[in-house]
Structures are given as C-alpha cells and as structure tokens.
Amino acid sequence: MNPISSSAELLNSVGVNTHLNYADTPYGNYPLVIEQIRALGVKNIRDGAHGYPNLDWWSVLCEPFQELVKMGVRINCVIDPFEKLGPTTSDLLFTLYNGYAQGVLTWEGMNEPDVSVDGDWVSTAKAWQQTLYVASTLPQAIGKMEVLACALAQANPNAAKLGVISAMCDYGNLHPYPAGQMPEPVIRVQLQLAEMMTPGLLTMVTETGYFTGPANDYSSGQPGVSELAAAKYILRLLLDNFSCQIPRTWIYELLEQKSDDYWGLIRYQGKAKTQFKAISNFLHLLGGPNCSLTPIDLTIDAPEIPKVRTLLVQKAHATWILFLWQEVSCYDTAAGRDQTNSLARVTVGLPSACRCSLHLPLEQREPYEIGTATSLLVQVPDHPIAVEIAY
C-alpha cells in the first residue's frame, strides 16, 4: 500500500472554530481557552476579524491570538463586511496580520452570505470576495496570501446561484454538516457542489460537526446525537475528508457558548465531551518528522463486511499508521439512540516481522502493545482504530 501522506500532514489538517471576541461567553476566559486548545492538540483555529471600538479593546483581543501563535497555532481569519473593519485594503490586512503576531495562515470570504445578506446576496458575496482577493497581497515582502472562498450555508441549491468564483480565491470552501448522519456520503455530494463554484481548486471545510442536544431538539436545524456517536463520526469525518484531499477541516466549535448550545467540544460548564477526548487522543498519535513517503507491502482481507475503510499515513522513515473503521451508521436519529454494530474481522498481512501496536483513540491515549508479528487479526468497530507498524 502507498501511504496517502505523512501523519504530520494529517495532524495539520485538523482545526477548530473559536469566537475569542465573545467576551460574555466562556470564550472570555482567555487563559482557560488557550489551555483547552493546547490540551486538544490542534494546530489551526478559525476565527473572525472584528471591528474594535477602541485600541485598548483591540490590544486585549490580540493577546490570546498571540499566545496561541507562540504555541504553533495558525489562524484562518474570516473577513466579513458586517464587522465594521473599515475599507478592506492590503493595509488593513497587514494590520490584522501583525496584530495576530503574523499567525494568520489564510483569509476567508463572507460567512454564509446566502443566509446573512438581505436581498442580492450573490452580487454582495462576489464583490466582497473580489475585494478581499485583491487586498490579500500584503506589503513589506510578505506578498500574496492565500484566500478561501465564502462558504454557503446551503450549498444545495445555492452553489448554482453563486456560480464560478475560482478566479477570486485559492481554495473552495464548504460547511457540510451531516445532520446526525454518517459523514462519508455527505462530503462526496458536497464536493460536487464545490466543483460548481471553484472548479479545479482544492476545497477546505471551515465548519462541520455534530449537535449533541436532545434527539428531539431541532432548534439548531440539526437532529441531536449522543456524545459517543458524535465522537465516532468526527474521527471518521477527519480521516475521510483527508482521504478526499481536503487540506484542512475545522470542527464547529471549541466551546458551548451557553447552557443550551450543545455545539461545543467542551460543555458550557467546562467539562470536555467525549469527542474532545477522542480528537485529542487521535492528534496525540500523529505528528513526527516530515519524511519521504515509501510504500509498505500490506494486504487487507475483510471478507465479512464490505464497508471497512482504511487510510495509511507514514509517521517516520520506517513507521506507518494504518487506520481502519466501518462505514456504518452509529446513531438512530429517529429513535434517539446509539446503534450497536458487529465488529468486522480483518486480517492485515505484513511484509515481514514488524513491531506493532494498536491505538483506540475513542477510548484511550495509550496504545496496546502487540509485539512483533507477520500478520494481524484486527476487530474493526464503527469508529477508527489505528495499527502502528514499524520495521
């Protein structure tokens, strides 16, 4: 098998949405938010640039961003016309870039203009996208920075209305919320819609996730799922998006903003949800040096269940990580309960005697040491497990 990429690139493909300007929510506790992002292990956040009433407030807001940049976190910065930033010029972006300690990696166009703009949202979104793209060439040898397209709230049917905007951006952009269902089929349909707007460009996913409110609560427009199902699906979503050549996926969002919010990876009261722990364990497994990708002669035999998915990444010169999971439903949204799925017996053939360990990111951080083997019989559940293989 050929590794799809390095584990370091997989690590860097994961991000989380934040709202650091929401000072009257748990986001206002900046030291705690910084520690939560450190514990999660993400290297990317998505947040917005916001108009500031005075320079003192601007300085306070910049401080947590600067601390995150020191930790190696980078920012996808949404530039929206409703934030009263003043004229969108290169000078404005340069000021923001420096205020955020030069940690801005990408700029992003309007957030969901198809539901945030009254009247002719298509013309407004296109004009703003073009303005942002022109302004994205910064002074003082920084040069051209990359720009993401605006993301639509309802790509179906509104992608056809927006039309082609690939000349105004460097990446496409999607908000493919799976509405409590399996993530894998959803992203494939959504990528077809992205191709209508940004043909020939890779696509980022700047918002996606699962609502963990009560099953009969549709206040968010999404059916609720259990924290367990959300954790299973989000791990699968991150791996599947990466396999679809989506460079980066930002989960919505880090914190619940109020007691009946249910979107955050951390509850309003501050307790980490199951999906926070699972993502943290998953990211802890990744990383390592950038290395030349080399194939490894693996065979996968899964005769019982055809829905077993695999993804191979390389962690070091002679170390690989093989992820396996079943592409099956984990939650019955109509009944409001988790589904129990049988394990799939999968035989992994190795090229020779290799040192192996088994990782279960949904359950724990520490691996199970398997030892040296020439083949492995693995019981694959409905959430990703990982076999680490080393010569």
Architecture of the domain whose range is 299-390: Sandwich (2.60)
Model pLDDT for residues 324-363, shown as the tens digit of each residue? 999 999 999 999 999 999 999 999 999 999 999 999 999 9
Average pLDDT (184-200) is 97
Task: Report yes or no: 338 and 228 within 8 Å, Cβ to Cβ.
Answer: yes
Q: Does the pLDDT at position 234 exceed 70?
A: yes
Residue with tokens 């999607």: 174
Cα–Cα distance, 364 to 386 (Å, whole number): 12
**Residue 260: band (very low, low, confident or very high) from pLDDT cuts 50, 70, 90:** confident
Task: Give the pLDDT confidence score for residue 291 in this predicted structure.
Answer: 81
Task: Give the pLDDT confidence score for residue 50 in this predicted structure.
Answer: 82
CATH superfamily name and code, 5-285: Glycosidases (3.20.20.80)
The proportion of the chain whose per-residue pLDDT surpasses 90, expressed as a percent, equals: 86
**Residue 288: band (very low, low, confident or very high) from pLDDT cuts 50, 70, 90:** confident
Per the prediction, the chain carries an average pLDDT of 94
Q: Does the pLDDT at position 287 exceed 70?
A: yes
**Residue 54: band (very low, low, confident or very high) from pLDDT cuts 50, 70, 90:** confident
Query: Would you tell me the crossing angle of helices 30-40 and 274-285 to the nearest 10 degrees?
Result: 60
Q: Is 253 helix (H, G, I), strand (E, B) or coil?
A: coil
φ and ψ at residue 295, rounded to 5 degrees: -70, 160
Among 48-62, 220-234, 347-361, whose mean pLDDT is lowest?
Answer: 48-62
* 124: CB partners within 8 A, 6+ apart: 81, 110, 113, 117
The proportion of the chain whose per-residue pLDDT surpasses 70, expressed as a percent, equals: 98
Task: Give the pLDDT confidence score for residue 85 in this predicted structure.
Answer: 87
Model pLDDT for residues 24-33, shown as the tens digit of each residue? 999 999 999 9
Task: Give the pLDDT confidence score for residue 176 in this predicted structure.
Answer: 98
First to last CA, the chain: 15
**Residue 300: band (very low, low, confident or very high) from pLDDT cuts 50, 70, 90:** very high
| Rg of the chain over all Cα atoms, to the nearest angstrom | 21
Average pLDDT (209-221) is 80
Residue with tokens 């793209």: 133
**Residue 53: band (very low, low, confident or very high) from pLDDT cuts 50, 70, 90:** low
Task: Report yes or no: 5 and 29 within 8 Å, Cβ to Cβ.
Answer: no
Average pLDDT (28-51) is 95
Q: Does the pLDDT at position 57 exceed 90?
A: no
Average pLDDT (216-229) is 83
Average pLDDT (309-327) is 96
Task: Give the pLDDT confidence score for residue 305 in this predicted structure.
Answer: 64
Average pLDDT (369-386) is 96
> What ranges do the domains of the chain cover?
5-285, 299-390
Q: Does the pLDDT at position 304 exceed 70?
A: no
Q: Does the pLDDT at position 303 exceed 90?
A: no
Cα–Cα distance, 46 to 107 (Å, whole number): 10
